[in-house]
Amino acid sequence: PVGRERIEGGHAVVALGYDDALEIKNSSGGETAKGALMVRNSWGTDWGEKGYGWLPYAYVLKGLAEDFWSVLKKEWIDTGEFKI
């Protein structure tokens, strides 16, 4: 975002992929960011491109995107260390 934009919360996204080379120009006249996460938004298909969009790495690095979670099956990480 740029100075006159406001943060919109109250939704969740899931990261589906990434592109380190993708360049995104801020539509409000801001700078171009390189690298982004592909996300699916909880606001439905009217948001972004049928519910999908790109979250620039810069948003994460600037603290504008937060509260990250990972969902894993225990079998993927079952090393015996956790006694699950």
Q: Which structural domain, as residue segments, surrounds residue 73? A: 13-77
- Position 35 in a domain: yes
Domain of residue 23, CATH code: 2.40.50
Q: How far apart are CA 19 and CA 77, in angstroms?
A: 26
Q: Other CB atoms closer than 10 Å to residue 12's CB: what's the count?
A: 11
- Position 84 in a domain: no
- Going residue by residue through the chain (84 aa), what tens digit of pLDDT does each one get? 566 667 777 778 999 999 999 999 987 777 899 999 999 999 999 999 999 999 999 988 988 887 888 877 777 777 776 665
Domain count, the chain: 1
